[in-house]
Structure 1
């Protein structure tokens, strides 16, 4: 019987975004099992990491890998970047002769092909990050102010929330690409500060403020 250990990973900010949330990963894994897997099959373990910090903090992935190797099962993920966004980490998994890996969205890909894809994806994320940084620098040169929009005289909660959402939407095009490129909350805050983008109160960005913006965007999605 074919055995699988499934692994899913989301961050707090990713859970509501199409293509990255749990529902999308569940859909892809189910489609693979129903369409591409040998039968009979059994899912012997299911693991989930919900992250809010560094990409390296994946305790459930370690357990999933251990179980897959111990039971001779295949480790199944929906997308390759659910394992990691770093090609070096994925390369180490590929080199483990005791671990068999399958990616639902690439059902026929072997380890060599997955390694190439991981390297190309890392290059793409690096390019996106550099492109976004260039856009931030250009906005700074033009004197564009993306923060400081809060009107201190507003007292009604509805108005305050509406303004907060508008501010979140305005910086979304800068913050989300950096997050999807694998930048941490602290790194995103640093990019915004380096580009001269101010917060709503005209101050410097902190990781906690970036997190609140991402959560607000998620809630509005």
Structure 2
């Protein structure tokens, strides 16, 4: 019989008390068990943590992992970031042969795909943090005076460009190494699709989209090289 140990996490005590986020995680785990779990199955235990995903000291997760290793069960989480926001933590966990990990939102993902998702998510968070700091510094330097229509249009265009670059940065960890190894645009698109990595709009990759990603990344690096 297939056995599962479920783990849910919210970031703050307020979320834990109100149930914010927990209902969605419970729903996703339920969908996985009803639709994708091999029958018969048994849920040995359910663990819920109120703690940041970047914190190392998480007693509920430690207890869940101990039960998983002891019983030979699978650890089931709703989303990968509920387990941890650190790719190093997830990579170490996946290297543990006594731990079997399943993610409800990615029911067919293997260890390689989960590792890619974790790396992309961490990369995106780092970029967002840098972008936010840069935006705050720019706003501080310029003051709080609002511009007219032209300024608003310029800001809107910059926002669109930033979003496009953010999407390129999201897959840079896959696209750039493959391209440097001589992979064609079509081969890179095929790799992204087979790995379950969607485009910014949730669709399938084409060679032309991969080319635009490379162009955006190259354009973003050019000003830095001239400094």
Using structure 1 for the length normalisation, give the TM-score. 0.61
Aligned equivalents of 1:99 and 1:111: distance in 2?
Answer: 11
Per the alignment, residue 154 of structure 1 pairs with none
Match of 1:88 in 2: 88
- The correspondence of residues 1-221 of structure 1 with structure 2, limited to 5 A, is 1-12=1-12, 15=15, 21-51=21-51, 55-144=55-144
Structure 2 Cα separation of the partners of residues 85 and 104 of structure 1? 17
Q: Quick one: distance in 2 between partners of 1:47 and 1:37? A: 19
Q: What is aligned with 1:194?
A: none
Q: Structure 1: state its 5+ residue gaps.
A: 146-221
CA positional deviation for 1:43:
0.4
Q: CA deviation digits over 1:23-61, x for unaligned, max 9?
A: 111011000000111011110011111026962121100
Cα offsets for 1:43-92 (capped at 9, x unmatched): 00111110269621211000000101111110000011111101000000
Which whole-Å deviations, capped at 9, do the CAs of 1:151-185 have from their partners, x for residues lacking one?
Answer: xxxxxxxxxxxxxxxxxxxxxxxxxxxxxxxxxxx
1 or 2 for the larger relative contact order (CA 8 Å, sep ≥6)? 1
Contact 1:49 1:61 in 2 (8 A): yes
Contact 2:53 2:84 in 1 (8 A): no
Q: CA RMSD in A?
A: 2.0
Q: Which has the higher helix share?
A: 2
Aligned pairs, number: 142
Distance 1:87 1:53 in 2: 11
* Distance of aligned partners of 1:14 and 1:24 in 2 relative to their CA distance in 1, 3 Å threshold: farther
Asked whether the 8 Å contact 1:28–1:104 carries over to 2, the reply is yes
The worse-fitting range, judged by mean Cα deviation, of 115-124 and 51-60 is 51-60
Residues 14 and 21, structure 1, Cα contact 8 Å, conserved in 2: no
Gaps of 5+ in 2: 146-227
Q: Which runs of 4+ in 1 moved over 2 A?
A: 13-16
